[in-house]
Structure 1
Amino acid sequence: MGESDQGLLERHEVPEEYRWRLEDIYASEAAWQQDYDEVKSQLPDLEAFQGKLGSSAETLLAALKLRDEISQKTGLLYAYAKMRKDENTANAKYQALDDKARGLLIDVRGVTSYIVPELLAIPGERVEQFIKEKEELGLYRHYLEDVLRQKDHVLSLEEERLLARLGEVAQAPSYIFGMINDADIQFPKIRDEQGREVQLTKGRYRQFIESPDRRVRREAFEAMHQTYKRQENTLAATLQASVKKDVFYARARKYESARQAALDADNIPLSVYDNLLKSVNDHVHLLHRYVALRQKLLGLDEIHMYDLYTPMVPDMNVKVTYEEAKETIKKALQPLGEDYLANLEKGLTSGWIDVMENKGKRSGAYSFGPYGTHPFVLLNHHDTLDHMFTLAHEMGHALHSYYSNQHQPYIYADYTIFVAEVASTLNEALLIRYLLDRSKTKEGKKYLLNHYMEQFRTTLYRQTMFAEFEMLTHQMVEDGEALTPERLSALYHDLNVKYYGDDIVVDRDVDIEWGRIPHFYYNFYVYKYATGFSAATALSQQILQEGKPAVERYLDFLKSGSSDYSINLLKRAGVDMTSPEPVNKALKVFEELLDEMERLT
């Protein structure tokens, strides 16, 4: 698995065994079109239920079932089109298909927008009576309770329809950022370790920033950020539009803030967010200690932002092929039991995964678990230890989707984003423990400790820093302030100084980093990485210490989808996220790793 120095492979050159099988969703575009036409033809039938949901139990059940059928099919249509586009974002045919699928999503949201306001107009006792009359309606009890919970924030029928029709416009900032970031932005060439000119890509940036050669790290860092700096006005305008969109929707729905609106969707108390920021801010001294240790181990007079990703341990440039990564992950996840391992094997061998970077392919990695087919995983795999962890992470997501889809009806299959990062980071925690336990040398152990501490830095600290940035930018807009490039960069700079401390040179190039983070368009998403990481750290310790009872609780959690509120599902699995305890415990683990690394050096 490799590519020539001249550049990346074209999509058609990628070997079949390293490509996902989107044919498992639709065997042909004709089959896609058939489902598309069917959904279009069903929309008037769903519209016909308008004004009648409260008339009888039969009518309510029929409307909800038809809504679910249409939504499920639309989900498959969108998944196929999106993933085809992601294979090569410059492919005009699939850009058009993706646009068409997005348009259909908006149509479906428009048609279904009457359902929630109409449900809220039915007296609670009549809903209860309907459930008694029609046993099948019992399935929808949690859904109906969740709708009623948000009664104060649902608008009139006409207003809801108007908001639904705004959907496509509301997606514009995120979509425009995606086109700038994935299709239009062009990075310069830099010199690699051998002095050869090579094209910088987002996929290769991670390799270069980890390079033991400081010149390569610095050149990649400066080239990456200066490229974004040249687009700073466009990027600031795009991000401001996205934040204003969040604030508009929150105000339209009578929330006190965009943050409250975003958290209420999952019924998460604001205190969970506040506890996270407080716990991490109370422990930034550990990150400062880590930076000082890194400077010492790298033997640097001064440490810069581009020195944060390179391994602190010399001569441990571990190469892990994709095939080796798969085998190691299977061994590391044995504590999760035979059933989990059998499903993992199925995922690794049955066309779920798109492995290699190719020209035009969407950057990064994700898992997508549409209902009615198997999950899909996008990677841009390079043969590094880090990318082995990426595979373990994304397979955690994929198997969470697989278990939920197998054990839940469509209405509850899609777990919330709040719990989404638990399954992925738990896999990483088990993988690092497996590797640490089998490390034969002091240097090997130090290398792995470095890697695990990097997980804490990049997931618990960095994502919390992002969450703080997101909270502050939304507060600025809510206070009527403009998000100019200067203000965004000054805010981002100050946060880096606070989190990383006085021992590091916070290079001005990093000030523009806010301009390249896709998650800032996801509306208070990133804090869930940090809370999920904390929950996963706690659950992985329970699984390794308790064995079978903890595994059973965990598998039940994976099978639960969104059949109850996220906070309740995690409590049953063994973690209470309403208390600061899980985050503080995770930070305690970080301190122990730091102690051990300091002892070994």
Structure 2
Amino acid sequence: MNSKMHLALSVLLLVASAATAAGPYKPDASAPRASVPEKYRWDLSALFADDEAWEAGFSLAQTQTAALAAYKGKLTAAATIRAALDDYFSARQAMDRVAAYANLKASEDDGVAGYQELRQRALGLGNDFRARTGFIRQELLRLDEAAAKRVLAKAALAPYRRYIEDLRRRRFRILGDEAERVLGLAGDNLWSETDLNEIPSDIELAFKAALKDIKLPRIIDDKGKLVELSLANYAKYRASKDRLVRRMAVEGLFGSLKKNEDVLAAILGGEVKRDVFLARARGYERSVDAYLDRQDIPAAVVENLVSSVHENLAPLHRYLGLRKKLLGLPDLYLYDLYAPLVPSAKADIPFEEAMRDVLAAVQPMGPDYAAQLSGPDMLGRRMLDVYPNKGKESGAYAHSLWGFPQLVLLNYMNDIEDVSTTAHELGHAMHGRINNQAHPVQDAGYSSLTAEIASTFNEMLLNKHLLAKYRGDPKMRLYLLSQLADRIRTTVYRQTLFTEFELKIHGFAEAGTPITAELLDRTYADLVKLYYGPSFTVGPNDGQEWSYIPHLYWKHYMFSYACGLASAVTLSEKVAAGDVAARERYLMMLAQPREEHPVEILVDAGVDLMQPEAIAAAARLLDQTVAEMEKLSERAATPKKG
């Protein structure tokens, strides 16, 4: 075994032996945070030692931001521009650091009011920073071509040349001073350097408030107890083994949404019209063109995704037919799509075992990748917040801030699906680490497209590893294959369904068609019928599902989930097969600077999202997976002789 890989595994073995000596921790979502062993709670001290240090950092960020006003109206000479950008990125780092600590601490326990207050203060600081520093972008964009060429030729601006050239790529979209002032007041976000899903509009906040206030019914759970249905427990009951429970969950949610559909339609319609207004104010015909142009992604990528999925619906229809058969159902409804096909195969997997599986799965990435993942500023320190606790933010995410260690929030419950989530988030974390190390702060970063590849790539490697690990266990293999099939269904197909719905409703606004609840319901139900095919029965309220999907407020983001997994399928298959050149191209993709064209980066790595092949490859994998599931289920159903 390579010495670096041996070291990586040794780190995990030490952690595992320590955990065994103390007895395994049993995750409990209602446990107070202090009861979770410290080694399973992340260490934020690299950001700030404590809240007092955060207050000092907050004051520093305010001071640095205010000082930038001294450059206003003076950005014409290379030396002045260099000084302004040095100070701008220093202030932005200070602001981002303050926001990171506040958001991460608030995620730990929503019952700690003090950290919710810090989060709000950090959000206000960010808004103030963007308002006060907008002049820098405006002045750089208003340099005429001759002046820009002259200053960019100066050695002083060499570190910022890529940044300025990328900024000026959309310079013809800039408007006059008064128009820019009005757009700023209207909440223009097309020039934001922050991910738009991290900057909720007032309309999105209204959606969240309206959703929170909708009263959901009580249902009977798996144990026969009466429980209150909520958005937090909806996914759990939707996936119940008991068909009556999952039916009550889906019909309970959709029925409640139906009663409030006019309000929810008005809110979503307002968000869509706002997107169209901001796009057309800058001369774009469609909002999808405007929001993808922020990342230098042509809208043809989204259009190719939708058309390619339409051409490859047969494997999805085959899978849903098999799901219907394995569940023994006369009809397959939406509430049957998440029921476990092999519930008894679920394994209780302690976190230490999960980490051994993840490290073993990424071996095809080479010893350096595994060694970095286990290094002193990654798994060698407390970068993970592993287990749930009372008040902790649900779900999982990776946090990357240039100049600081990666951090990952999990809610690990010893389920095999949690192992996949861990691999997914560590893929994000490694992407952030590799990219940050390769560039100065002004060039570090990546598009949503490549971000969603890095995470799902690791999931694909893990799936291959687990299928090999459980080669002799048909029930576990069937379970793992069903999980892979569902991942392709929910990520490639379902996210494309969402993307097509998003395109259609923005098209309504662009054509001047009134956006009503009836129109949204009918449009969504028609897509469900098209995508899910002849084995699926459309329920009376299935067209209502759109009304609780938060990603519809994320400004044309969902396509990146589908394209990300489809790309990861192609790239991971080559790397897992031992193609060293493919591995190096993939690692190079992770290291590319923010300013590089995402589509071209992927072409260099081996995927062309302007062509249908990546989507077709994901569809083939689904078809192959379903074929193996059919064989395994037939063997299990065949009586043994003798």
- 1:193 matched to 2:222? The reply is yes
C-alpha contact (below 8 Å) 1:203/1:364 kept by paired residues: no
Instruction: Tell me what 2:392 maps to.
Output: 361
Residue of 507, 527, 547 corresponding to 2:539: 507
Closer/same/farther in 2, CA of residues 376 and 513 from structure 1, 3 Å limit: farther
Instruction: Tell me what 1:541 maps to.
Output: 573
Closer/same/farther in 2, CA of residues 317 and 201 from structure 1, 3 Å limit: farther
2:359, 2:396 → 1: CA distance?
Answer: 20
The aligned length equals: 596
- 1:87 matched to 2:117? The reply is no
Instruction: Tell me what 1:432 maps to.
Output: 463
* Cα displacement (A) at 1:392: 1.0
Single out whichever of 341-350 and 96-105 deviates more from structure 2: 341-350
Instruction: Tell me what 1:412 maps to.
Output: 443
Closer/same/farther in 2, CA of residues 163 and 60 from structure 1, 3 Å limit: same
Partner amino acid, structure 2, of 1:379: L
Single out whichever of 270-279 and 204-213 deviates more from structure 2: 204-213
C-alpha contact (below 8 Å) 2:491/2:565 kept by paired residues: yes
Instruction: Tell me what 2:618 maps to.
Output: 586
Partner amino acid, structure 2, of 1:295: K
- 1:468 matched to 2:506? The reply is no
Please give the secondary structure, in 1, of the residue aligned with 2:222: coil
* Cα displacement (A) at 1:521: 1.3
Instruction: Tell me what 2:61 maps to.
Output: 39
Instruction: Tell me what 2:564 maps to.
Output: 532
* 1:139-288 to 2 correspondences below 5 Å: 139-167=159-187, 171-179=201-209, 189-198=218-227, 200=229, 202=231, 204-288=233-317
Please give the secondary structure, in 2, of the residue aligned with 1:95: helix
- 1:447 matched to 2:469? The reply is no
Partner amino acid, structure 2, of 1:117: Q
* Cα displacement (A) at 1:248: 1.9
Residue of 16, 26, 29 corresponding to 2:38: 16
C-alpha contact (below 8 Å) 2:27/2:414 kept by paired residues: no
Instruction: Tell me what 2:127 maps to.
Output: 106
Q: Percent identity?
A: 38
Instruction: Tell me what 2:158 maps to.
Output: 138
C-alpha contact (below 8 Å) 2:27/2:413 kept by paired residues: no
Single out whichever of 273-282 and 495-504 deviates more from structure 2: 495-504
Single out whichever of 527-536 and 440-449 deviates more from structure 2: 440-449
Misfit runs of 4+, over 6 Å: none
1:80, 1:175 → 2: CA distance?
Answer: 22
1:331, 1:202 → 2: CA distance?
Answer: 35
- 1:323 matched to 2:352? The reply is yes
Closer/same/farther in 2, CA of residues 3 and 375 from structure 1, 3 Å limit: closer
Closer/same/farther in 2, CA of residues 198 and 382 from structure 1, 3 Å limit: farther
Please give the secondary structure, in 2, of the residue aligned with 1:58: helix
Partner amino acid, structure 2, of 1:19: R
Please give the secondary structure, in 2, of the residue aligned with 1:318: coil
* Cα displacement (A) at 1:90: 5.4
1:186, 1:338 → 2: CA distance?
Answer: 52
C-alpha contact (below 8 Å) 2:499/2:559 kept by paired residues: yes
* Cα displacement (A) at 1:200: 4.6
C-alpha contact (below 8 Å) 1:354/1:377 kept by paired residues: yes
Instruction: Tell me what 1:574 maps to.
Output: 606
Instruction: Tell me what 2:422 maps to.
Output: 391
Cα displacement string for residues 219-272 of structure 1 (whole angstroms, at most 9, x for unaligned residues) = 333344445445434433332232222112111211111111011111111211
1:424, 1:480 → 2: CA distance?
Answer: 39
Residue of 505, 512, 534 corresponding to 1:480: 512
Residue of 53, 62, 73 corresponding to 2:94: 73
* Cα displacement (A) at 1:184: 5.5
1:11, 1:119 → 2: CA distance?
Answer: 48
Closer/same/farther in 2, CA of residues 96 and 239 from structure 1, 3 Å limit: farther
Instruction: Tell me what 2:587 maps to.
Output: 555
Partner amino acid, structure 2, of 1:323: E
Stretches of structure 2 lacking an aligned partner (at least 5 in a row): 1-24, 189-198, 635-642
C-alpha contact (below 8 Å) 1:117/1:156 kept by paired residues: no
TM-score if structure 1 supplies the norm length?
Answer: 0.92
2:353, 2:258 → 1: CA distance?
Answer: 39
Please give the secondary structure, in 1, of the residue aligned with 2:374: helix
Cα displacement string for residues 524-563 of structure 1 (whole angstroms, at most 9, x for unaligned residues) = 0000011111111111012123433222222222222414
Single out whichever of 32-41 and 465-474 deviates more from structure 2: 32-41
- 1:351 matched to 2:404? The reply is no
Stretches of structure 1 lacking an aligned partner (at least 5 in a row): none
Closer/same/farther in 2, CA of residues 203 and 549 from structure 1, 3 Å limit: farther
Closer/same/farther in 2, CA of residues 122 and 387 from structure 1, 3 Å limit: same
Partner amino acid, structure 2, of 1:270: A
C-alpha contact (below 8 Å) 1:114/1:160 kept by paired residues: no
Cα displacement string for residues 36-55 of structure 1 (whole angstroms, at most 9, x for unaligned residues) = 2222222333222122211x
Closer/same/farther in 2, CA of residues 486 and 356 from structure 1, 3 Å limit: farther
Closer/same/farther in 2, CA of residues 391 and 415 from structure 1, 3 Å limit: same
